[in-house]
Structure 1
């Protein structure tokens, strides 16, 4: 289903759609890349703010070797329950299948990019 407020987001910023039942198999336990899981919801104003910000400077969110995954938690409520969400958007960072941390709400482009860069540096992930 299309996201009505930012309809071409996933065309212009490609991410792999993932469901709760498939997440563990796609987190790359043997993979040295960072995986970022973007949990969002259709017609979520804060999610739309994050999407629009990402589309303004998409190159800032493109790290070589970083895999982006996404799920609409309104269509897949088990994902929201799994991560104990109290609000969206939420971003979870994983390395080798292990959760490194989360970024909740939208902190802005600079803070988001800085947080991801720190995790990449701390893990020695392939970039």
Structure 2
């Protein structure tokens, strides 16, 4: 189902849509980039806040060392169960198939960008 609250988000901030059944194969790709999995829900106010803030400065979230995935957990509840979600948005960071951590809720642009930059530096991720 389409995102109606911030309908232009995925056109202006391209992310690959993924579903639970395809996630493991995607994460197993031989890729040295960090994968950020953005779990959100349609008509979720906190998700919309995150999307709107990301659209204010999309270049700050466009690292060459990062590949973005997204899933609407209302349409794919097995993904929510898999990650034990108690709220959205949730962002999971992976490197070479290993989960590095999660950012739950939207902390704001600066804390989010700083956390991802630290992971890029710590892992030696590259484009």
- Give the TM-score normalised by the residue count of structure 1: 0.97
Number of aligned residue pairs: give it: 127
| Contact 1:93/1:102, CA 8 A, preserved across alignment | yes
Matched with 1:17 is: 17
Aligned counterparts of 2:49 and 2:58: Cα–Cα separation in 1: 14
What is the correspondence of 1:20-99 to structure 2 with a 5 Å cutoff?
Answer: 20-99=20-99
Gaps of 5+ in 2: none
Aligned counterparts of 1:64 and 1:33: Cα–Cα separation in 2: 8
Matched with 1:2 is: 2
Query: What displacement does 1:115 show?
Result: 0.2
Aligned counterparts of 1:120 and 1:47: Cα–Cα separation in 2: 24
Give the root-mean-square deviation of aligned CA atoms: 0.8
Aligned counterparts of 2:52 and 2:2: Cα–Cα separation in 1: 15
Query: What displacement does 1:4 show?
Result: 1.0
Moved beyond 2 Å, runs of 4+:
none
